[in-house]
Amino acid sequence: MNLNLGGPGEAELGAMVAQHLATLGLVPIHQKVDAARGNVVAVLEGSAGPVLAFEAHMDTVPTSGSAQARAVRRDGRVYGRGACDTKGSLVAMLEALRLLQAVPADARCTVVFAATLDEEAGVTGIRHFLNDSHGISLAVVGEPTGLANAIAHKGLVRFRIRTKGSPAHASRPELGVNAVYAMAPVLEALQRDVLPRLATVEHPLLGHPTMAVTSITGGVAENVVPAECTIGIDRRLNPGCLMGATRAGSPLQVFRPSCSAPAASTTLTRMRSGLRSATSSAPPRC
- What amino acid positions are annotated as catalytic residues? 119
CA distance 242 to 219: 35
Question: What is the largest distance, in Å, between two alpha-carbon atoms of the chain?
Answer: 80
For residue 197, which phi and psi values (nearest 5 degrees)? -65, -40
Any residues with CB less than 8 A from the CB of 133 and at least 6 apart, and which? none
* β strands within the chain, DSSP E: 29-32, 38-44, 51-57, 72-74, 77-79, 111-116, 136-141, 155-164, 210-218, 228-237, 265-274
| Three-class secondary structure of residue 247 per DSSP | helix
Question: For residue 126, how far is the Cα from the chain centroid?
Answer: 11
The total of other beta-carbon atoms located within 10 Å of residue 113's CB is 25
- Dihedral class, residue 74 (left if φ above 0, else alpha if ψ from -120 to 50, else beta): beta
